[in-house]
């Protein structure tokens, strides 16, 4: 059971979740720095101030990746570390950190996959209106240019942003993520529209300034529905659920991906949102609709669907006792079959699974090791499904496990451990969990070690 030759086996992280050094070397504040200060926002009042101290310990973390044998690492850049005010003056020390990080990764023969924005939005720009400001897409393009000019002689794989569904919906609608806003539908859709424009302008900027041939995409949430049976009607219903807009929020696939990949907002969404839909200027859709080289999908769980009345999707709740992770997300391995398959068929772009993994309550056992059999079983089940999707024709180029190491899980603080490497936050000691050794075998055999 082998994945195609050249398959990318990686791990993923994000700047605010691991770097720490939140107020060091000239870094400006991000909205997560300030959001964490407010009582009640984060579990146990925690923050990413120190996190995994990766800013200082990156050589050790790269060494661990080398031992696991990954050939790729997905990281993100902290916008306010590079541009403390979000625009204008560059912080040379901040940029130098990413310079060193990239050099050392390449020295270790690990290919960097860089996400430009993984939620740590500059506080200064938020004070100027953030994603609601019509200039926000130009700010993002300016930041993109600074990073691309500096790193693109070595970085060839770019993602404009991570999970727009989450930072807009949770951050600007539910208020559970930074900046903690609860906007009404019209304003929410305006932030989404500016985010889409930012994506488009960033793609244009990468292509205009990259010093080498590059691959450009984004990492989106793959909102996946799986069919209850193999009956064509159930399969069609699940696909319909995946590609429709049914709620007055932005937790869906097509409100984002259709503008980016097809060049127009989905009709059902426009009808549902009515007068709340954003004003679209003449050139907007052309800016948003940039050719991409790949589609990155972050997939963790999904819902089961059957064909109900007149074939319409009907969600079937997971049965009582269905396995869940510590985050209470259902274990649904089939999402890694139907997700990439349906996205590939609709958008015809090569797919990377840019995140997949699970939170657990791992701890150090009496023998000094960290045993995480559930994570091994989880990944095994999901990867078997991904393999099946690849065999059935979906063009799947790579897989990034979330995450290299335990880290700051946003509003849940350090409660959820997603890593293959255990982090003792008091001593900053790293201990590779059993799953890290298992992943090493999987990578070394290009997938042949599954099912063991």
Name the residues annotated as catalytic. 163, 355
Q: Which of 53, 362, 372, 409 binds ligand IFM (CB under 6 A)?
A: 409
Q: 88: alpha, beta or left, given left = phi > 0 and alpha = psi -120 to 50? A: left
> Which residue's CB is nearer to ligand IFM, number 163 or number 234?
163
Kindly provide the residue ranges of all beta strands, DSSP E only, lying in 281-355, ordered along the sequence.
295-298, 302-307, 313-316, 351-355
> Which residue's CB is nearer to ligand IFM, number 46 or number 298?
298
Q: Which of 347, 378, 402, 438 binds ligand IFM (CB under 6 A)?
A: 402
Helix/strand/coil for 333: coil
Please give the residues from 296 up to 325 whose contact with ligand IFM meets the rule CB under 6 A: 298
**Dist CA 179 CA 446 (whole Å):** 41
Q: Which of 164, 151, 253 is nearest to 200 (CA)?
A: 164
Please give the residues from 261 up to 300 whose contact with ligand IFM meets the rule CB under 6 A: 298
Q: Which of 123, 258, 355, 372 binds ligand IFM (CB under 6 A)?
A: 355
> Which residue's CB is nearer to ligand IFM, number 296 or number 447?
296
- The token pair at 129 is 């209106």
Compute the least distance from the CB of residue 183 to ligand IFM, in Å: 21
> Which residue's CB is nearer to ligand IFM, number 265 or number 382?
382
Across the beta sheet with 224-227, what order do the strands follow? 224-227, 302-307, 313-316
Compute the least distance from the CB of residue 210 to ligand IFM, in Å: 25
> Which residue's CB is nearer to ligand IFM, number 32 or number 55?
32
Beta bridge pairs of residue 225: 303
CA-based radius of gyration for the chain = 21
Q: What share of the chain is helix, strand, coil (3-state, %, to 5)?
A: 40, 15, 40
Q: Which of 186, 200, 181 is nearest to 278 (CA)?
A: 186
Compute the least distance from the CB of residue 53 to ligand IFM, in Å: 18
> Which residue's CB is nearer to ligand IFM, number 234 or number 409?
409
What is the number of other CB atoms lying within 10 angstroms of the CB of residue 215? 17
Q: Which of 53, 61, 163, 258 binds ligand IFM (CB under 6 A)?
A: 163
> Which residue do the tokens 């996400």 mark?
115
> Which residue do the tokens 């045993």 mark?
371
β-pairing, 429-432 with 421-424?
A: antiparallel
Start-end of H helices in 310-372: 335-347
Compute the least distance from the CB of residue 351 to ligand IFM, in Å: 17
**Dist CA 163 CA 183 (whole Å):** 18
Compute the least distance from the CB of residue 149 to ligand IFM, in Å: 26
Compute the least distance from the CB of residue 2 to ligand IFM, in Å: 28
> Which residue's CB is nearer to ligand IFM, number 297 or number 383?
297
**Dist CA 156 CA 153 (whole Å):** 8
Please give the residues from 3 up to 32 whose contact with ligand IFM meets the rule CB under 6 A: 14, 17
Number of residues that bind ligand IFM (CB under 6 A): 8
> Which residue's CB is nearer to ligand IFM, number 11 or number 235?
11
Compute the least distance from the CB of residue 242 to ligand IFM, in Å: 18
CA end-to-end span of the chain, whole Å?
12
Whether residue 403 has a cis bond before it, omega within 30° of 0: yes
Q: Does 98 bind ligand IFM (CB under 6 A)?
A: no
Q: Angle 81-180-44 (CA atoms, 0-180°, nearest 5)?
A: 85
Compute the least distance from the CB of residue 355 to ligand IFM, in Å: 5
Summarize as ranges the residues that interact with ligand IFM (CB under 6 A): 14, 17, 163, 298, 355, 402, 409, 418
């Amino acid at each position: 059971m082998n994945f195609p030759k050249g398959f990318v086996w990686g791990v993923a992280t994000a700047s605010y979740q691991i770097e720490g050094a939140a107020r060091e070397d000239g870094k400006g504040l991000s909205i997560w720095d300030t959001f964490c200060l407010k009582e009640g926002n984060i579990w146990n009042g925690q923050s990413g101030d120190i996190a995994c101290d990766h800013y200082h310990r990156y050589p050790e973390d790269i060494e661990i990746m080398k031992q696991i044998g990954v050939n790729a690492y997905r990281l993100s850049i902290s916008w306010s570390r590079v541009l403390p005010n979000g625009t204008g003056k560059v912080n040379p020390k901040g940029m130098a950190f990413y310079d060193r990080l990239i050099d050392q990764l390449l020295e270790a023969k690990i290919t960097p996959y860089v996400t430009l924005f993984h939620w740590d939005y500059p506080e200064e720009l938020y004070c100027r209106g953030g994603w609601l400001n019509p200039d926000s897409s130009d700010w993002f393009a300016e930041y993109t240019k600074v990073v691309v000019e500096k790193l693109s002689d070595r970085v060839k794989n770019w993602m404009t942003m991570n999970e727009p569904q989450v930072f807009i919906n949770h951050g600007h609608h539910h208020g559970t993520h930074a900046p903690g806003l609860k906007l009404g539908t019209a304003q929410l859709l305006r932030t989404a529209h500016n985010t889409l424009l930012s994506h488009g302008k960033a793609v244009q900027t990468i292509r205009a300034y990259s010093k080498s041939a590059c691959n450009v995409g984004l990492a989106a949430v793959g909102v996946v529905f799986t069919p209850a049976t193999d009956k064509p009607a159930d399969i069609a219903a699940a696909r319909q659920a995946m590609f429709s807009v049914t709620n007055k929020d932005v937790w869906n696939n097509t409100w984002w991906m259709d503008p980016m990949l097809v060049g127009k907002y989905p009709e059902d969404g426009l009808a549902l949102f009515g007068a709340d839909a954003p004003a679209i200027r003449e050139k907007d859709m052309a800016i948003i609709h940039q050719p991409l080289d790949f589609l990155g999908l972050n997939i963790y769980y999904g819902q089961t669907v059957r064909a109900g009345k007149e074939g319409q999707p009907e969600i079937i709740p997971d049965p009582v006792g269905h396995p869940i992770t510590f985050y209470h997300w259902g274990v649904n391995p089939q999402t890694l079959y139907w997700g990439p398959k349906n996205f590939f068929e609709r958008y015809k772009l090569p797919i990377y699974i840019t995140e997949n993994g699970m939170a657990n309550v791992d701890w150090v056992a009496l023998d000094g090791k960290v045993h995480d059999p559930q994570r091994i079983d989880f990944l095994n089940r999901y990867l078997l499904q991904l393999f099946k999707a690849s065999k059935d024709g979906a063009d799947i180029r790579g897989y990034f496990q979330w995450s290299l190491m335990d880290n700051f899980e946003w509003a849940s603080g350090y409660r959820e451990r997603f890593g293959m490497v255990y982090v003792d936050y008091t001593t900053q000691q790293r201990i590779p969990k059993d799953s890290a050794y298992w992943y090493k075998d999987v990578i070394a055999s290009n997938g042949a070690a599954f099912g063991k």
